[in-house]
């Protein structure tokens, strides 16, 4: 269930504030969902609540962690150490949630050897070896679009069974491999779509107008 991480984050916040038990109503509010939905989600894991009282924060945290697989460490390889790969490698949120950035790989030989986030960047040729030696099961693709399919194929062939794809490309993987996609431009385009509907493009600019304003403000 895709909302479990959300609940976990809300619970962690409550735990830090010293809250011992929480009702579905309260927890739902801090996670931004409907309370009935939350109860239905939690009941799917088992009956971990107490009627008349609510849920014990620490206990529920542990149950969700176990369900998600957070009680184990997962090794991750990041392929493509451009701007985005860089940011991902340095992103602190991964390590604290059981994800270990085990390897960084780039196709550019000039990048190989460079140190990023305390790890040496390896050349793409070593990809398969690294996956096997480090027992990596999750791959993050931050390459240009044209390389994405090839990279995914190689990851899958080497044994990776979960891929998070940031490249703006449609990639196909065989059954049994999980593929999730995050497309930054698409997210903005969806916003722009709604924006246009809202105020009849009152805030949209021509390229010339935008450039002019930028000139005036930034000099």
Partner DNA sequence: GGACACTTGTGAACCCGTGCACAAAGTTGC
Partner DNA sequence: GCAACTTTGTGCACGGGTTCACAAGTGTCC
Restricted to residues 157-196, the positions that interact with its own copies (CB under 8 A) are: 161-164, 168-170, 172, 176, 178, 180, 182-196
By CB under 7 A, name the one of 5, 12, 37, 113 that touches DNA: 37
Tokens of 112: 């190989």
Rounded CA gap, 73 and 134, in Å? 12
Please say which residue, 40 or 73, places its beta carbon nearer to its own copies: 73
- Rounded to 5 degrees, φ, ψ at 184 are -65, -45
Q: Taking CB under 7 A as the criterion, which residues in 133-192 touch DNA? A: none
Q: Taking CB under 8 A as the criterion, which residues in 36-65 touch its own copies? A: none
111 in Cβ contact with 90 (< 8 Å): no
Binding site partner of 152, from DNA, its own copies, none, Cβ cut-off 5-8 A by kind:
none
Known binding residue 81? Answer is: yes
**Radius of gyration of the chain, Cα coordinates, nearest whole angstrom:** 22
148 in Cβ contact with 165 (< 8 Å): yes
Binding site partner of 73, from DNA, its own copies, none, Cβ cut-off 5-8 A by kind:
its own copies
**With binding defined as CB under 8 A, does residue 137 bind its own copies?**
yes
Residues 6+ positions from 99 with CB-CB distance below 8 Å? 73, 74, 76, 138
By CB under 7 A, name the one of 53, 157, 188, 190 that touches DNA: 53
**From 9-17, 33-41, 160-168, 178-186, span contacting DNA (CB under 7 A):** 33-41
Binding site partner of 40, from its own copies, DNA, none, Cβ cut-off 5-8 A by kind:
DNA
Known binding residue 218? Answer is: no
Tokens of 53: 């009282």
**From 19-27, 35-43, 51-59, 76-84, span contacting its own copies (CB under 8 A):** 76-84
Please say which residue, 48 or 94, places its beta carbon nearer to DNA: 48
Helix pair angle (57-68, 4-16), 10° resolution: 150
Instruction: State whether residue 163 is helix, strand or coil.
Output: strand
**From 19-27, 36-44, 46-54, 69-77, span contacting its own copies (CB under 8 A):** 69-77
Count of C-beta atoms within a 10 Å radius of residue 49: 19
Through-space distance between the first and last CA atoms of the chain, rounded to whole angstroms: 50
Known binding residue 8? Answer is: no
Annotated binding site: 80-85
């Amino acid at each position: 269930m895709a909302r479990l991480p959300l609940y976990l984050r809300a619970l962690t916040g409550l735990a830090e504030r010293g809250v011992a038990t929480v009702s579905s109503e309260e927890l739902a509010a801090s996670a931004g969902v409907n309370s009935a939905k939350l109860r239905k989600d939690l009941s799917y894991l088992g009956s971990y609540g107490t009627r008349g009282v609510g849920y014990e924060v620490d206990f529920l945290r542990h149950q969700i962690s176990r369900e998600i697989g957070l009680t184990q460490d997962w090794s991750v390889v990041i392929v493509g150490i451009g701007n985005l790969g860089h940011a991902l490698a340095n992103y602190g949120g991964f390590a604290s949630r059981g994800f270990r950035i085990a390897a960084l790989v780039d196709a550019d030989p000039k990048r190989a050897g460079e140190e990023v986030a305390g790890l040496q960047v390896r050349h793409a040729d070593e990809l398969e070896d690294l996956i096997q030696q480090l027992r990596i099961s999750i791959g993050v693709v931050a390459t240009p679009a044209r390389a994405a399919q090839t990279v995914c194929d190689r990851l899958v062939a080497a044994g990776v069974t979960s891929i998070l794809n940031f490249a703006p490309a449609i990639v196909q993987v065989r059954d049994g491999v999980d593929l999730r996609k995050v497309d930054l431009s698409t997210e903005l385009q969806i916003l722009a779509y709604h924006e246009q509907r809202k105020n009849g493009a009152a805030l949209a600019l021509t390229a010339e107008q935008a450039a002019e304003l930028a000139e005036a403000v930034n000099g």
